[in-house]
Amino acid sequence: MMDSLAATERLSRVFADESVVQAMLDFEAALARVEARAGLIPESAAEAITRSATAEAFDAAELTRLSLRAGTPAIPLVRMLTERVRDLDAQAAGFVHWGATSQDVVDTALVLLLQQCRPVLESDHKRVVLALWRLSEEHADTVMLGRTLLQPAPPVTFGLKAAGWLAAVKRGWVRVASRFDQSLYLQFGGASGTLAALADHGVAVSQALATELGVPCPDAPWHGHRDRLAALMAALSIYIGSLGKMALDLALLQQFEIGEIAEPGGDGRGGSSTMPNKRNPTGCMLAVAAAKRTPGLLANFIAGMLQEHERGSGGWQAEWASVEGIIQAAGVSLESMAEVLEGVRVNSVRMRQNIEATRGAVFAEKAMIMLAPEIGRDAAHQAVAEALPDIPGLEVPEDYLGSAEAFRRRLLGSEE
């Protein structure tokens, strides 16, 4: 309940207890299989370990309780797995977790979970991109007030505004996608990151394990080096910020006295517990809230990068909550904004009325530019300031859009 505004159902399934346990067990089972193929443990042991590595057979609540005392979920997990394997094959129990260390299990499980998160985020990203493209194209000629420092400014088009949001979101996802590619590596180093327990088989087993799990194999274990994960968290945080900026713009345009857009309603969306007349910008609110909490989560992750020597104490143990929080913030933002953008109603009539309500004041720059060649810029500035709002011929917003359409098309990537 406490995280009901900070999580999505799909991502919550990825981070559910059973899913997390299964990711750790997948590491253990894959390790056993590749070590058996390398002749390091008996094939029968690998079979017993693989058969025992099913999350539904583990007590997640007990594992959570024991994890707090152990300082990592890997220690009680390995103990529980060993007992299950012993029930099948007493000899095989001695080969569970062979050559690995606790952080290998936890880090690789996190990588496997992040792999599952990527397509969830990407599917909603594509929805946002498609909806913004449609809005920009449909409203290429829809004039509206520009707003600087929250005050009326010369007109823009809603198409240009949507294209600006779109370009930022697309740039953000390029960064996120590249960081996913560069961050999700196998972790397998054993006690001190040398795989000494495997003698001269360490590199070969690492490569085989990475292939078995479907992740890249790094040049060396990265227990104390969190820079790649940090880069992914930073890219996601920037992306969430771009979604939040768009959400804030849209929320402000929904204010009653502005009334230029409206979020889709229905199914209890956007209502008020006390004011039946209200339609709150709920989707935008969730995205803005996500953008506001993300910087703190990122700061926590960055602070944890200071890890002592080969494996740190407290740094990587602090990461999981931050990683899940940032991933969930991205998921909430994307899911919410996709729904908003796919159903948003644009009130082009109100947009023009809001321009007209300024009685030409937003065209003061235009008037000054017209006068400046004759009397100089400073004199023109003063004259226009004194004459507003009584200067005729300045009320056509389409006549003062400058390069708005050229910029819009360039942002959409459609310029020839």
Active site residues: 272, 311
Token pair of 209, please? 């394990």
d(CA 295, CA 325): 11
d(CA 327, CA 238): 12
Structural contact between residues 206 and 217, judged by C-beta atoms closer than 8 angstroms:
yes
Token pair of 333, please? 């933002």
202 contacts: CB under 8 Å, gap ≥ 6: 99, 190, 194, 195, 196
191 contacts: CB under 8 Å, gap ≥ 6: 101, 197
d(CA 332, CA 284): 10
**What's the Cα-to-Cα distance from 13 to each of 18, 67, 104, 273, 338, rounded to whole Å?**
9, 20, 23, 30, 20
d(CA 396, CA 401): 10
Structural contact between residues 322 and 297, judged by C-beta atoms closer than 8 angstroms:
yes
d(CA 100, CA 82): 14
d(CA 197, CA 218): 19
**What's the Cα-to-Cα distance from 290 to each of 280, 335, 365, rounded to whole Å?**
17, 12, 38
Q: Among 341, 379, 412, which residue's Cα sits nearest to residue 168? A: 412
Amino acid at the residue 368: M
